[in-house]
Amino acid sequence: MENQNCKLHSIECRCLSWKPVIAGALMAIGLSFLLHLFSVAIGLSAFSIDNQGVESLILSGLIATAFGTVIIMFASGWMAGYLGNRACNKRHLGALYGFLTWVVALIVLMLIVDSILHYVTVYSHSISIVAEMPADAAKHMQNTMNQQAVHSAVVSSYVLFVLFFLGAFAASLGGHCGMRHVCKDDMQSCK
């Protein structure tokens, strides 16, 4: 009886193939890079100096980022699910393929961004010059900046949560749809 359970368990474990997940994650990383370059180009060409122009640029950039994230992660999840349906006959695992694609892409992108941020931080500290400021003005400026930083951190946290949630949901939905997609050639070979 125990031997039979081991055989069933090993068959179920082979249902999850990492090749489609890694392919989907690489697709997500490549498309994210292209979207980032495109958004930087649009942002630089549409920038204006006045406050209303900056606010509209930030809001439109946030909406475009959310829309782009959903499209990229759906396409990457769909690709992982579509490639995974050859290895797995359990179609309900498509959402898992999409979600794992999102997780792997997120981990790799965080490693890349961490190294870039380290470089930018070291570079900016090496070229910055600290100006002397009167003590009262520095204290007032520090208090104002602390209040603004707390408010910005709260809003940024919610925005990041929504963007990550949308990405994870879109990748899972894409994986589910990709796993359920059946090619016309596959249908004809079944007849």
The residue with greater pLDDT, 104 or 16, is 104
Delimit the domains of the chain by residue range.
2-190
**Nearest-angstrom CA–CA distance, 42 and 145:** 29
Digit-coded pLDDT (tens) for 24-57: 999 999 999 898 888 777 766 766 666 666 677 7
Mean pLDDT, the chain, rounded, equals: 77
Digit-coded pLDDT (tens) for 133-168: 455 555 555 566 666 666 677 788 888 899 999 999
Digit-coded pLDDT (tens) for 9-20: 445 546 788 999
pLDDT score recorded for residue 136 = 56
pLDDT score recorded for residue 92 = 82
| Tokens of residue 134, six digits | 């009167």
**Nearest-angstrom CA–CA distance, 72 and 78:** 10
**pLDDT higher than 50, residue 191:** no
